[in-house]
Amino acid sequence: MTTVAQRIHDLDQVIRLRRTTKPEKMNGNSIPEQTIRELLELADWAPTHAYTEPWYFVVYAGEAVKRFCKDHAELYKQHTPEDRFQAGTYEKLEHMGDKASHLIALCMKRGDNPNIPVLEEIAATSCAAQNILLAAAARELAVYWGTGGQALKPAMKEYLGLGEADQVLGLLYLGYADNVLVPGKRNKPLEQKIKWVS
């Protein structure tokens, strides 16, 4: 039986040691579907204003990750003027998920409650995303949140079947890697990001 103090300590450690792991550092091993379901179930406990629950996850597994990445590269090609197209970017996008197990397109689906501003729906979806990141860290899974390529572009929204008012927040690549829980770095001291008022 763990004590409250132990649980707090464990949670603090997960928050501190959660790190971004780039997909190229992943090792190609598959995450059990049940584990991915656990992450999504925990995401669903994020807070929302007025129970709008705006998050929407498109989950790719195994070969579907590779197909998604190929399609992502093609979207980049289709929507980039010829003089700006870079073969290196195409290849990077195409092979981004080669060693990942799953990819989750992290989406905000705008509901029909006009009293809730878009900002709140994006904030709530970000909370759901953080639940995924922390739950993944607690299970020593590697995760990368990417917004490059076409991830934030209208073409990706269309590809995922989203509506005009919806928003893609990023692509989460998940897998296994060595040493996923490590101390990180922050550039600005915390005190610069706080104003104490008393």
Ligand X SMILES: Cc1cc2nc3c(=O)[nH]c(=O)nc-3n(C[C@H](O)[C@H](O)[C@H](O)COP(=O)(O)O)c2cc1C
Q: Is 146 in the site for ligand X (CB under 6 A)?
A: yes
Q: Is 183 in the site for ligand X (CB under 6 A)?
A: no
Q: Compare residues 20 and 78 and give the one whose CB is closer to ligand X.
A: 20
Q: Which of 23, 54, 97, 170 binds ligand X (CB under 6 A)?
A: 170
What mask, x for binding ligand X by CB under 6 A, covers residues 34 to 73? ----------------------------------------
Q: Total number of residues binding ligand X (CB under 6 A)?
A: 8
CB-count exposure of residue 135 (10 Å: 0-12, 13-18, 19+): buried
* CB-side neighbour CA atoms (13 Å) of 33: 4
Tokens 């927040």 identify what position? Answer: 169
Closest by CA to 57, choosing from 33, 74, 41, is 41
Contact at 8 Å (CB) between 102 and 59?
yes
Element housing 58 (H / E): strand 55-61
In the complex, what is the shortest distance from the CB of residue 71 to ligand X, in angstroms, rounded to a whole number? Answer: 18
Q: Is 148 in the site for ligand X (CB under 6 A)?
A: yes
Q: Is 19 in the site for ligand X (CB under 6 A)?
A: yes
Q: Is 86 in the site for ligand X (CB under 6 A)?
A: no
Query: What one-character-per-residue DSSP string does 91-139 give?
Result: HHHHHTTTT-SEEEEEEE---S-TTS-HHHHHHHHHHHHHHHHHHHHHT
In the complex, what is the shortest distance from the CB of residue 23 to ligand X, in angstroms, rounded to a whole number? Answer: 10
Q: Compare residues 19 and 92 and give the one whose CB is closer to ligand X.
A: 19
In the complex, what is the shortest distance from the CB of residue 46 to ligand X, in angstroms, rounded to a whole number? Answer: 15
Q: Which of 59, 123, 145, 181 binds ligand X (CB under 6 A)?
A: 145
Tokens 């409650």 identify what position? Answer: 113
Footprint on this chain of ligand X (rule: CB under 6 A):
19-20, 145-148, 170, 184
